[in-house]
Chains A and B, each alone.
Chain A
Amino acid sequence: MLGIPTKLKRTKGNNMNEKTLDLIEPELSVKVLKVTGQKSSRKRILDMGLTPGTRVDVIRRAPLGDPVEFKLKGYNLSLRKREAETVLVEVVE
């Protein structure tokens, strides 16, 4: 349902650094490019502050590998990989 369009976008990106948020290793930082996915989850993700241009630090994965914890706008947020997959980002230094 959500998976196909996102995966297409992942390979279509012409920028080499363009990835979906679920693929970013902990301790890296990224900048949000776009939020895709279904309307209801997309809206919530935007409301929580993952708007284009926002810097997000990947903090850690949960002990069992999923969900993942992020830090943005001074607070900590966790998303399942399924939701993180809908956030297109680019790695920043």
Chain B
Amino acid sequence: MTDKITVALTGNPNVGKTSIFNAITGSKQHVGNWPGVTVERKIGKRVHNDIEMEIVDLPGTYSLTAYSLDEIIARDFIIEEKPDIVVQVIDATNLERNMYLTTQLMELGVKLIIALNMTDLALAKGDSIDSEKMQEFLEVPVISTIGSKGNGIEGLLDAVADELHKTRVTENIFTYDSDIETRGEELEKVLNNDPYFAHYPSRWFSMKLLEGDENILKKAKESESYPEIEKILNELDADSFEAKIADQRYKTIQTMLRQVCDINTEHLSGSDMVDRVVTNKALGIPIFLSLMWAAFEITFTFATPFMNIIDIFFGWFAETATNLITIPWLSSLVGEGMIAGVGSVLIFLPNILLLFFMLSLMEDSGYMARAAFIMDKIMSKIGLHGKSFIPLVMGFGCNVPAIMATRTIEDTRDRLITILITPFMSCGARLPVYVLLAGAFFGRDAGVVIFSLYALGILVAIVSAKLMRSTILRGEDAPFIMELPSYKIPTLKGSFIHMWERGKIYLKKAGSIILIGVVGVWLLASIPAPGSGGVFASEEVYGTTNSVIGVIGQIIEPLVAPLGFDWRIAVALLFGVVAKEIVVGSMGVLYGAGENEDTLSDILAAGAMTPLAGLGLMVFTLLYAPCFACIGVIKRETGSWKWTLFQLAYGTTLAWTFAFAVYQIGSRIGMLA
């Protein structure tokens, strides 16, 4: 008979928690979100000694206060879900700060096991740690591990199995000064007499009250004994207690560490030497830009052949299917709707996999924090964090993986703003639209026009970020308190797992939205307009004035007429939501390119559209609603249709306004007429 237990995995960020999680669970992982928020929740399974263990990877936190979403999630999980065992992964090269969290976990009264990770690196640094002595001191099992190599995992699981049947006795390993202890006991008495608090470890709860933890205070206020609690709290100097408690936790750790380990403080680490170059005043920025360029090139250049293969394959597949199916409407549905739809989901996969492979290398090596350190000054000017820079740059390649890359930004508001402005980074799919239109209308100046469009996108993103910061997403900038972890050699396995996870999430969560969008547009283009007498999905109907989409184009023509666009442009823009580059192809069909050997470019240059309207169209393409794939990931990453629709409405309104300004002001002053 097997037991089923829950094991929570916790620890500071950058301690190799993910590698321990991967080593325990292998490929049996499920990645989702914590309920109601977009913080990632990873769950894995492992059977060990006939015990079925469900491993829950909690967000990496330095502490268990309530000032960040990650901390609240980790804390609530431990308190509310009561996992059978809590494993804290500790970086053996950085014991003192890591054990601050240990003190809080012990106060919570959980069954704790410590995985002393990266012991190889501690040894190389010249530290010696007596894990047995540490175990004696803390009265919890301490297991040495090297997560990246999978060492010590069996021992860790054995310890979990052993610990399961032991009763936990120690809660008061960490004692504070007598003034704190006295107040703590007074509070504990009150808490123990009120059944409302039965759910919480009373010592932990009273210490949190003394620390002035707002989340805990709020919970206490709902109880009947709050007046008594308030009376005790009012008698003391809250600010000094807060600092004292933190201070004494660290003092206890120091006392213990003096007994259990010998840390080599003289050692100038490899990390320090690398940082002298990498974050150097003169070299830091050039190195950062070269690495960004390399990551960008690898992501988007290496992906191109794979994307071409996908493109060719789905083209062939759609054609074959169309030829095989004799019922015209069905053949069009399968070929132009479904197969093309699946193709437009998969086409982004090479980009996503490669970008996340690169990001994972940067993150696991420790460079990501340096990148944020270097770029923070610039990003803080628009109210964002240094970590927002990389997703925004990647947006120039493709907005889809770029938006997924915002996961590294901890502050929810910073992350939301970054997601909302990323679509203004002019992605690779918009370039063919610019090349065609700028080439047709501006000849030798095409380069300048295209460059200006990229610049306009950046400008709109900056102004939008500032605007959102001061209106709908107002508030204090999140404090910038960031660890610069020591450099590590990333493991290929870890990066591959990360890459594959991202790919899966994209396919599962964004894929369906993209597919529905593409098939939806196909339907609009195929359903004959009422009264037109056309045949569903026939060539005479598809995308013409005889189709619903054509009618919609004509209905909205008055709306876009002030921009110098006619119904054909309106329809092309509607198709463009499937994928931006389709704007060009649709215009080709609608303007009858190829019929008299005239290319679309010739037709446009010959006067089908004025150069001003052409410029407006480029601006519109840059700013309006992003493609379905992008909409899909915005929904997935914000977890909210409200914000997704906000982005669409905001972008489209801006697009209209800018294109209107270009056309109207341009024609008034007689430019490009």
Contacts and interface: CB of A to CB of B under 8 A. Distances in A.
Interface of A: 1, 34-35, 38-49, 51-54, 59-67, 69, 73-80, 82-83
Contacts of A78: 369, 373, 480-484
A35 to B, nearest CB: 7
B479 A74 contact: no
Given A48-B97, A69-B373, A75-B94, A64 B247 contact: no
Contacts of B319: none
Given A35-B243, A40-B479, A78-B373, A69 B97 contact: no
Interface string B209-249: 00110100000000000000000000000000011001100
A69 B242 contact: no
B100 A49 contact: yes
Given A59-B275, A75-B483, 13 more contacts: A34-B243, A38-B476, A44-B65, A45-B479, A46-B247, A65-B377, A67-B386, A67-B482, A69-B484, A73-B94, A76-B485, A76-B486, A78-B480
Contacts of A40: 67, 479
Given A38-B476, A39-B212, A62 B377 contact: yes
Interface in B361-383: 369, 373-374, 376-378, 380
Interface stretch (B277-285, B531-539, B641-649): B277-285
Contacts of B477: 82
A22 to B, nearest CB: 12
B247 A67 contact: no
Q: Interface extent on B, as a size class?
A: 35 or more
A62 B279 contact: yes
19 contacts: A41-B481, A46-B247, A47-B246, A49-B96, A51-B247, A53-B247, A54-B250, A60-B275, A62-B376, A63-B280, A65-B377, A67-B377, A73-B250, A76-B275, A76-B483, A78-B373, A78-B480, A80-B380, A83-B480
A1 B476 CA distance: 9
B62 interface: yes
Given A44-B481, A46-B242, A77-B481, A62 B374 contact: yes
Given A62-B279, A83-B480, A75 B376 contact: no
A44 B483 CA distance: 12
Interface of B: 62-63, 65, 67, 93-97, 100, 211-212, 214, 242-243, 246-247, 250, 263, 265, 271, 275, 279-282, 284-285, 369, 373-374, 376-378, 380, 386, 476-477, 479-486
Contacts of B63: 44, 47
Contacts, number: 130
A62 B481 contact: no
Contacts of A76: 271, 275, 483-486
B373 A52 contact: no
Contacts of A75: 94, 97, 483, 485-486
A64 B378 contact: yes
Nearest to A1: B476
A42 B280 CA distance: 29
A83 B96 CA distance: 22
Contacts of A53: 247
B279 A60 contact: yes
A54 B247 CA distance: 9
A47 B62 contact: yes
B247 A52 contact: yes
Contacts of B95: 74
Contact of A47 (B100, B378, B486): B100
A77 B247 contact: no
B315 to A, nearest CB: 47
B65 A47 contact: yes
Contact of B285 (A38, A39, A42, A63): A63
Contacts of B263: 74
A77 B243 contact: no
A46 B265 contact: no
A51 B250 contact: yes
